[in-house]
Structure 1
C-alpha cells in the first residue's frame, strides 16, 4: 500500500509533473522550431522518428488535465515553459505563447493547485541551436532574458521557479553520449555544455532575484553509481561516473568548483577562464529539486578513452525503460545531499516514477508498488534528518518520452495517442486514496 498522506510531516506537498515539449504540442500557438524538432527529424535518433508536434495535445486540453490533477488530491503541479513557444526565434516574444501560460497558471490557482515552474525542460529554439546552443556562452547568457520574460508575465503567481531541469541530460547525455538533442558525441562540446548550462542557471537566478522573485532553485538528476566489484579499478570507474553525473552540478553550485575525477577528462576542453564564472554559478538556492529513477553498475574499461568505464547489467527488477528498481538510491541521495552539500536547505523530489507497458483496464500494480517503495524511501530520509518538503510523481500523462518516442509510458493517466482520450490508471486511483485528507 502507498504510504498515506497522514504518515508524512504536516504541510508536506504532493504533486505531479510534466514538461512542455512532451505534452503540449509544438505545432500550436505560434511556437517556433526547437532543436528537438530537428533532432527527431533526423533518421535513427528517435523511435519511429516521432516528435512533439502534437504530443498529448495539452495545448488544447489543459483544463481537462488540470481537473485530473485536482481530482487526485494533489497539492501542486510542476510544469515547464517552452522557450521555443515564448520566444520562437530566441529573441522576439510571442504573445500567444505567453497567453497560454497565463491561462494555465490561472487554471491551476482556480483549482487550488500550487504552480511549480521549471523554465527550461530541453526545447531550445532552433535559431539558438544554430549559434551552437549550450556550447555558446552567449546563448547561456540569453537564457536570463527568457527567464525575465516569463517572470514578468507569471512570476507573481507561481509558488517557485526552477531554472533548468536535469543539466546532466542537457549537457552530457546530449553532447557526449549523443542520445538527446542536439545529438553530439564530442568531448569539447560536452565540456562546454556542462559549464554553460550552469552559467545559464546562475545568470537566470541573478536576473530573477533582481526582479524580486523568490523561492528559486534548480532541478538536478541523480543516478546511483554502483561499482561492479570490489576491485580498485571498478571502484574508480564508479567514482568517475558519480563525479560526472551526481557531483558536477551540485558541487559547481555549492562548492565553487568541479570534482577532480571529472576534470581529469574535461579540463583540457573547458572554456578558457571558466573559473571566473563560478561566483555567478554559485548563486544562493532557496531549494533543490532531486530527480531520481534508478542506479547503474559501472566497471572499468581498460584501454578505452576517458572516462574508460562500461555499464554492467544489474540483477534487480526493471522498468519498461530497462532501469533497475532501486528505491534505496533515493534515500541515499536525499541523505547524502543534506549531509554533504545543502544542509537544511529545503529539498523536493521533483521527479520519480516508472515506465510500464500498461493499457487501459489493466491494473498497473508494478507502478503502485514502485510508488510505495519510493515514498517509503523518502520517509526514511526524512527520519534521518533530510529537510524534504514534497514529492512530485513523474508523470501525470503518458507522453513523448524523447528519443523513445511514445512507446514508454510513465503516466498515472493513460493517453490514447490517436484519440487523445485520457484514462486514469489503477496507480492514479491508488495515489488518490493515499492522498485523501479524510
Structure 2
C-alpha cells in the first residue's frame, strides 16, 4: 500500500488511468480501416515476437469490464484515445458509423460510472491511406487532422472532460522518422524535420477545429525526459543540451513560445518545409492545460561518430525497469517545476507515468515506483507547479508497440490467451488510497 493519502493532494486533484486505442482495443472489424501500426507490425523484424494489435486486450468487446475496474479502483478519470481509422477508415471522407457508435457506448459507459472521459485525438494509429500520401511528412496532414478533430468535437465533445490533440509528438516525429523505431519506421533527417514541424502545426489546426465545435478544456500531451550530461566535461554538457533540445525544448518552445531551438534549426533548417515560420502562430495556439508523460532521464555524451547530432546516450547507474529505463522520480519533480517556471502557468497533468515489470499479480517494485513519483508530484506542487492530476500508465497490460506483448505496464494483469483480467498489487495500492475518499 501507499504511505501517502489522497487528501495530501487536495480535494480537486484528479487521479486516473491511461490507455491507447491500438494497444488495447483489437476489434478490427465493423468497418475499421488499416493503420500504420498494422503494416509496421506485420513487417519482419519491427516488433518483438512478430506481435501485433489485431486482438490486443479485446477492449472493443470487453470495455464494460474494464470501466468497472476503473470505477472500482476509485479513479476519477480515464484517459483513452480515439482510433482515427475506426472513425474515418480512409483518414478523410466517409465516416464509419459503427466506430461512432462504439465511442458513444464507451463514453456513456464512463459517465454512467462517474468516470470523467479524457480523450486523445491521436495516439499513433495514422490511417494507412494518409501514410500513402506522405503522412506526417505532408503539410496537408494539418487539414486532415483538423477535419478529424471536427468530427470528434461534433460527435463527442460535449461529453469529454478534457481533450488532447496529439500524444507524444516526439515519438510521432523523431522516434518514428529519424530513429525508425516506431511506425512508419523512417530513418531520414528530411522526413524527421518535416514531421517534427507538421505534428505541431497539425496540433494547432486541431485546436482551432475543436474550438470551432465548442469543445472546452483543450491541451496537448508531451513526453519529456530529464536530459543530463554523463560527465561534467564541457562536451558532454553540450551534448545534454542538444538532447534536451531534441526531446523537450522543440515541443515546449514550439507550443508555448512559438519558436524552435536555434541549435536544432542550424541542423534541420535545410530540411524544414518552406516558410515554416509562418505556421508558428498556429503551432502556439492558446491552450487550457498541458499533459506531461514522464518515464526516465537521458544521460548524454559527446559522440563525434554521429552525423548531424553528435551525441549518444549512456546507461546510468540507477535501478532500472524491465525496459532498461532508470527509475528517477526526482526528474519528474524537476521537469514539472521547470515547465511551470519557464514555459506556462497553465494547469499541468501527469498524463502518463509507470513502469514495465515482469512479475505477475504481485508487483512491489511498481508500487514503490508509483509512490515515489506521486511524492515527486507533491514536491513539485510545494514549489508552486500547478499540477492538477496524475494518470497511471497503464490500466492494462497491453501491446507495447515495438516491444510487442513482452513488456507489461499494467496495474491489471491480462492473460492474452483467455483475456482474463487480474488486479495487481499496484492496482490495490491505488484502490486503497482512492476508494471511498473522493
TM over 0.5: yes
Q: Determine if contact 1:205/1:283 at 8 Å carries over to the other structure.
A: yes
1:268-287 correspondence to structure 2 within 5 Å = 268-287=270-289
Query: Paired residue for 1:113?
Result: 115
Q: Determine if contact 1:2/1:369 at 8 Å carries over to the other structure.
A: no
Q: Determine if contact 1:5/1:437 at 8 Å carries over to the other structure.
A: no
Is the partner of 2:325 in helix, strand or coil? Answer: coil
Query: Paired residue for 1:436?
Result: 435
Q: Determine if contact 1:254/1:342 at 8 Å carries over to the other structure.
A: yes
Q: Determine if contact 1:2/1:431 at 8 Å carries over to the other structure.
A: no
Query: Paired residue for 2:348?
Result: 347
Q: For residues 113 and 254 of structure 1, what CA distance do their matches in structure 2 show?
A: 30
Q: For residues 237 and 261 of structure 1, what CA distance do their matches in structure 2 show?
A: 11
Is the partner of 1:196 in helix, strand or coil? Answer: helix
Query: Paired residue for 1:399?
Result: 398
Unpaired runs of 5+ residues, structure 1, are none
Q: How far does residue 156 in structure 1 lie from its aligned partner after superposition? A: 0.9
Q: TM-score if structure 1 supplies the norm length?
A: 0.98
Query: Paired residue for 1:424?
Result: 423
Query: Paired residue for 2:379?
Result: 380
Is the partner of 2:159 in helix, strand or coil? Answer: coil
| CA deviation string 1:143-195 (max 9, x = no partner) | 01101111111111000100000000000000000000000000000000000
Query: Paired residue for 1:14?
Result: 15
Query: Paired residue for 1:97?
Result: 99
Query: Paired residue for 1:189?
Result: 191
Q: For residues 319 and 335 of structure 2, what CA distance do their matches in structure 1 show?
A: 20
Q: For residues 235 and 27 of structure 1, what CA distance do their matches in structure 2 show?
A: 47
2:169 to 164, 167, 170: 167
Is the partner of 2:158 in helix, strand or coil? Answer: coil
1:224-373 correspondence to structure 2 within 5 Å = 224-343=226-345, 345-360=346-361, 363-373=362-372
Query: Paired residue for 1:35?
Result: 36
Is the partner of 1:90 in helix, strand or coil? Answer: coil
| CA deviation string 1:218-265 (max 9, x = no partner) | 000001111011111100100001001011011101111101122121
Unpaired runs of 5+ residues, structure 2, are none
Q: How far does residue 141 in structure 1 lie from its aligned partner after superposition? A: 1.9
Query: Paired residue for 1:58?
Result: 59
4+ residue runs over 6 A deviation:
none
Q: For residues 2 and 25 of structure 1, what CA distance do their matches in structure 2 show?
A: 37
Query: Paired residue for 1:410?
Result: 409
Q: How far does residue 437 in structure 1 lie from its aligned partner after superposition? A: 3.6
Q: For residues 76 and 377 of structure 2, what CA distance do their matches in structure 1 show?
A: 17
Q: Determine if contact 2:229/2:240 at 8 Å carries over to the other structure.
A: yes
Query: Paired residue for 2:69?
Result: 68
Q: For residues 408 and 70 of structure 2, what CA distance do their matches in structure 1 show?
A: 18
Q: For residues 126 and 72 of structure 1, what CA distance do their matches in structure 2 show?
A: 37
Q: Determine if contact 2:89/2:127 at 8 Å carries over to the other structure.
A: yes
| CA deviation string 1:277-300 (max 9, x = no partner) | 001111101000000000121100
CA RMSD of aligned residues (A): 0.9
Q: How far does residue 304 in structure 1 lie from its aligned partner after superposition? A: 2.4
| CA deviation string 1:189-228 (max 9, x = no partner) | 0000000000110000011111211100000000111101
Q: For residues 420 and 28 of structure 1, what CA distance do their matches in structure 2 show?
A: 18
Q: How far does residue 426 in structure 1 lie from its aligned partner after superposition? A: 0.7
- Structure-2 change in CA distance of 1:2 and 1:78 (3 Å): farther
Count of aligned positions: 435
Q: For residues 215 and 153 of structure 1, what CA distance do their matches in structure 2 show?
A: 16
Query: Paired residue for 1:88?
Result: 89
Q: Determine if contact 1:16/1:74 at 8 Å carries over to the other structure.
A: yes
Is the partner of 1:224 in helix, strand or coil? Answer: strand
Q: Determine if contact 1:18/1:78 at 8 Å carries over to the other structure.
A: yes
Q: TM-score if structure 2 supplies the norm length?
A: 0.98
Q: For residues 70 and 261 of structure 1, what CA distance do their matches in structure 2 show?
A: 47
Q: How far does residue 267 in structure 1 lie from its aligned partner after superposition? A: 1.1
Q: For residues 256 and 223 of structure 1, what CA distance do their matches in structure 2 show?
A: 21
Q: How far does residue 375 in structure 1 lie from its aligned partner after superposition? A: 0.2
Q: How far does residue 26 in structure 1 lie from its aligned partner after superposition? A: 4.8
Q: How far does residue 2 in structure 1 lie from its aligned partner after superposition? A: 4.4
Q: Determine if contact 2:27/2:58 at 8 Å carries over to the other structure.
A: no
Q: For residues 57 and 101 of structure 2, what CA distance do their matches in structure 1 show?
A: 19
